[in-house]
Amino acid sequence: MSGTHLQIGEVADRTGLSIKTIRHYDEVGLVAPSARSAGGFRLYTDVDVDRLFAIRRMKPLGFTLDEMGELLRSLAVLDDPASTEAERGVARTYLADCHARATQACEKLSTQLDYARELTAQLAEHAP
């Protein structure tokens, strides 16, 4: 699909995010569409969709919009061959911090899921 532009509805279907949410991320500067159609409709590339997937993954782990933006910028620095070694070092440090936070959040969510399963099993014993 390289070079293909998707309309916002297609992006919503692909990412599982609502159109309203995708528009909000554009408004706050997290993921701007790469192009606009002649009629002014937002058009997104694979790179844009990948950024939206990254945001979707960060949200349930408690990252703020500002932190999401910084994480996306850090990933972009590491993907850009023109980035300096100093820029890469800062990006790597930030990503390492985010990785540690994500790991802790996953552990917490896993524990909560275990509790929810225990409760569900307990309630099932008493369900008609």
Helix (H, G, I), strand (E, B) or coil at 40: coil
- pLDDT of 1 reads 41
User: What's residue 20's pLDDT?
Assistant: 96
pTM: 0.82
Give the start-end residues of each E strand in the chain.
Answer: 6-7, 35-36, 42-44
Q: Tens of pLDDT along 43-86?
A: 999 999 999 999 999 999 999 999 999 999 999 999 999 999 99
Q: What are the φ/ψ torsions at residue 7 (nearest 5 degrees)?
A: -80, 165
Residue where the block lists tokens 């800062």: 90
Per-residue pLDDT, 40 = 86
